[in-house]
Amino acid sequence: MQKIPEDIQALEKKIAAIKKKTSGEPETENKHTQFSHLAMGLRLGVELASGTIVGAAIGYMLDEMFDFQFVLLLIFTIFGGCAGMLNAYRYAKSVNDIGEK
């Protein structure tokens, strides 16, 4: 029986490692990826909340300036919420596009 040379064994190990890497098996997450997922979630929440708050503040100031009865507050709060959702969608889409590459 012939003994397999060491360089062929090393080559077979490298081929197996490359096959495992490209097979699409999920890799274990480390602390860095866990924190980045937390950061993404917090950013999405901040995008939604900040848009709504800024819209409400603008609406309130315009109501006080033009002496309306909370009409502009309601309208600008809705616009701010929509802007926050749009910003959150754009951020999530950009993160998804980066992850696919």
Sequence ranges of the domains in the chain: 31-100
| Tens digit of each residue's pLDDT (9 = 90 or more) over 7-24 | 888 888 888 888 888 776
Element (H, E) at 89: helix 71-100
| Tens digit of each residue's pLDDT (9 = 90 or more) over 24-79 | 655 555 556 767 888 899 999 999 999 999 999 999 999 999 998 899 999 999 99
Question: Based on C-alpha coordinates, what's the Rg of the chain?
Answer: 27
Contact of 58 with 80, CB cutoff 8 Å? yes
- Residue that the structure tokens 């950061």 belong to: 39
Burial 28-37 (b: 16+ CB within 10 A, else e): eeeeeeeeee
Single pTM value for the model? 0.63
- Residue that the structure tokens 């490359």 belong to: 18
pLDDT tops 80 at residue 86: yes
Torsions phi, psi for 5 (to 5 deg): -60, 155
